[in-house]
Amino acid sequence: MKNISILKKLGIILLVTILVASNISICDNVQASAAEKPGKPKISLSISEDGYGINVNISKTTGADGYRIYIMSSYDEKYKKLADINLNGKKVQSYTVDNLKTGHYYFKVRAYKKSKGKKIWGAKSKSKNIILNKAPIIVFGSYEQDNDPSNGKEPIEWLVLDEKEDGSMLVISRYGLDAIPYNRQGENTTWKDSYLRNWMNNSFYEVAFNTQEKERIIETEIETFDSPYDLENLSSEKTNDRVFALGAGEVFSYFAYSYVKCACEPTAYALERGAIIIDCEKLRQEGSYVSENDIKFEGSCSWWPREASSSAFDETGIYYASAIISYDFEDANPDGEATYQRLIEKSSQEICARPAMWIKPE
């Protein structure tokens, strides 16, 4: 037993002698084999100040020496490498993608750590997406807005929500242009027979656009569902409209993950015509509860979607509809349940109209 113990000691001495002679560190060897992967990045997206690019913002990631950014657009079928960022000791944690065309963009980021000339890769981040509109605001047509008819109509500003390859654009008014009831008598009327549709395609269309502008407006086939909820299992009807209200599905698609704000303010003319806004001070004076959403969207008006869900109250026979105030970006989900909305009588003139339409390029 004593001889075996001596042999073990001699073996250990021999191993250490070989490692020292080979200029190898026991500690270094252990560290190299146990090199840890960097953490999983968390990212957020924002539109660049000029409106033509997307900022990919990366939170500080444990053990990261750099990042690889992946991109996929609505025109692609899979993610592709966009860029590598080598920190080199810097604290730069963002990357701007410029000169993008209008579309829906998705991003992932993966961190790497340098070890003996090689990159050790961590897990990819969760996917984040955002809608980019290259031409966020255009001016087209005119309508009374400052409530002073003596100085004539004011130019209408439109948010560009979508753009096709031929240059045609889907636009929606930046402001609530007028206070219009969904239907004058409050019946359970669908979009096809609504007063709102008639106003948009006749009164508003004739007043707001001249002959040249009318030639640029595209008559579009519109599909309208019975309700803004569970669209896949509901019946629908189709109409051909030059001007229309956005449907619930379109509102979610274009606003829920977009930098374009769903909430809007009414014009002075719309206010004079009966539109109401969220007024927190007035609510407090009335003794009403002021919610976080009331504070967040103070000054905003409600506006009509094309699909207005309805329910009749037996004691009154009045039909109600859901009027949109805004989407909460943080809580939005594919079912559209994050809409901040209010039930309102369909005959109410407290709700604004936000006309939308497809127009040809100049």
Looking up residue 65, the CATH number of its domain turns out to be 2.60.40.10
pLDDT of residue 197 exceeding 90: yes
183 SS3 class: coil
Residues 102 and 171 in one domain: no
Q: Residue 120's CB: how many other CB atoms inside 10 A?
A: 16
Residues 183 and 300 in one domain: yes
Q: What is the pLDDT of residue 10?
A: 39
The verdict on residue 287 lying in a domain is yes
Q: What is the pLDDT of residue 196?
A: 92
Domain end call among 132, 154, 173: 132
The band of 290, judged by pLDDT with boundaries at 50, 70 and 90, is confident
Residues 207 and 285 in one domain: yes
130 SS3 class: strand
Residues 319 and 354 in one domain: yes
Q: What is the pLDDT of residue 256?
A: 57
Residues 193 and 183: their CA atoms lie apart, in Å, by: 9
The verdict on residue 251 lying in a domain is yes
Domain end call among 132, 158, 178: 132
Residues 191 and 56 in one domain: no
Q: What is the pLDDT of residue 16?
A: 37
Per-residue pLDDT reduced to its tens digit, 31-64? 333 358 899 999 998 888 776 789 999 988 888 9
pLDDT of residue 332 exceeding 60: no
Q: What is the pLDDT of residue 323?
A: 57
pLDDT of residue 161 exceeding 80: yes
Q: What is the pLDDT of residue 261?
A: 59
- Residue range(s) defining the domain that contains residue 66: 43-132
The band of 221, judged by pLDDT with boundaries at 50, 70 and 90, is very high
CA proximity to 303, closest of 331, 335, 340, 329? 340
Q: What is the pLDDT of residue 336?
A: 36
Q: What is the pLDDT of residue 133?
A: 61
Residues 53 and 197 in one domain: no
Overall average pLDDT of the 259-277 stretch: 82
Q: What is the pLDDT of residue 67?
A: 93
Q: What is the pLDDT of residue 140?
A: 97
Q: Residue 177's CB: how many other CB atoms inside 10 A?
A: 25
Residues 161 and 218 in one domain: yes
Q: Which residue has the higher pLDDT, 296 or 111?
A: 111
The band of 291, judged by pLDDT with boundaries at 50, 70 and 90, is confident
Residues 64 and 43: their CA atoms lie apart, in Å, by: 14
Helix (H), strand (E) counts: the chain = 9, 20
Q: Residue 343's CB: how many other CB atoms inside 10 A?
A: 11
Overall average pLDDT of the 113-117 stretch: 87
Q: What is the pLDDT of residue 31?
A: 39
Domain end call among 132, 156, 181: 132
pLDDT of residue 259 exceeding 50: no
Residues 304 and 223 in one domain: yes
* DSSP code at position 77: S
Residues 81 and 141 in one domain: no
Terminal-residue alpha carbon distance, the chain: 98
Burial of 340 (0-12, 13-18, 19+ CB in 10 A): buried
The verdict on residue 10 lying in a domain is no
The verdict on residue 252 lying in a domain is yes
The band of 183, judged by pLDDT with boundaries at 50, 70 and 90, is confident
Number of domains in the chain: 2
Residues 126 and 145 in one domain: no
Contact 196, 244 (CB under 8 A): no
Residues 113 and 212 in one domain: no
